[in-house]
A = this chain, B = another copy of it.
Amino acid sequence: MKTSTASSQHACTFSSVALRDFHSIGISRHYEAHETLLREGFPANHLLIVCSGRVKLTAASAEGRLLLLRVAGPGDIFGLAALHEHTVYRLTSETLSPCTIKSIPRDEFVCFMEVHPEVARVTALALGREYTNAVLTARRLALQTTAAGKLASALLDLSRVDNLDSAHTNLPISFLMQLTHEDLGSMAGLSRETVSRLLARFRREGHVLQIHDRMTLTHPIQMEARYC
Known: A65-B143, A65-B145, A143-B65. A91 touches B125 (CB 8 A): no
Q: Return the contact of A117 from the options B84, B90, B117, B143 (Cβ within 8 A).
A: B117
Q: How far is the CA of A90 from the CA of B62 in the complex (A)?
A: 31
Q: Return the contact of A143 from the options B59, B81, B138, B145 (Cβ within 8 A).
A: B59
Q: How far is the CA of A141 from the CA of B65 in the complex (A)?
A: 12
CB-CB under 8 A from A91, the residues of chain B are 135
Interface string of A111-127 (1 = CB under 8 A from B): 00000011011011101
Known: A124-B127, A143-B67. A132 touches B90 (CB 8 A): yes
Q: Is A61 an interface residue (CB 8 A)?
A: yes
Whether the Cβ atoms of B138 and A67 lie closer than 8 Å is: yes
Q: How far is the CA of A150 from the CA of B79 in the complex (A)?
A: 26
CB-CB under 8 A from A66, the residues of chain B are 143
Copies of this protein, total: 2
Q: Is A93 an interface residue (CB 8 A)?
A: no
Residues of A141-169 at the interface with B, using a CB-CB cut-off of 8 Å, are 141-145
Whether the Cβ atoms of A143 and B61 lie closer than 8 Å is: yes
Binding site secondary structure of chain A? helix
Interface string of A124-142 (1 = CB under 8 A from B): 1101111110110111011
Q: How far is the CA of A145 from the CA of B137 in the complex (A)?
A: 17
Q: How far is the CA of A62 from the CA of B60 in the complex (A)?
A: 30
Q: Is A74 an interface residue (CB 8 A)?
A: no
CB-CB under 8 A from A142, the residues of chain B are 65, 67, 137, 141, 186, 189
Q: Is A69 an interface residue (CB 8 A)?
A: yes
Whether the Cβ atoms of B139 and A85 lie closer than 8 Å is: no
CB-CB under 8 A from A65, the residues of chain B are 142-143, 145
CB-CB under 8 A from A59, the residues of chain B are 135, 138-139, 143
Q: How far is the CA of A228 from the CA of B65 in the complex (A)?
A: 12
Whether the Cβ atoms of A128 and B189 lie closer than 8 Å is: no
Q: How far is the CA of A94 from the CA of B183 in the complex (A)?
A: 36
Min C-beta distance of A26 to chain B, whole Å: 19
Residue of B nearest to A149 (CB): B61
Whether the Cβ atoms of A135 and B85 lie closer than 8 Å is: no
Q: Return the contact of A141 from the options B81, B117, B124, B138 (Cβ within 8 A).
A: B138
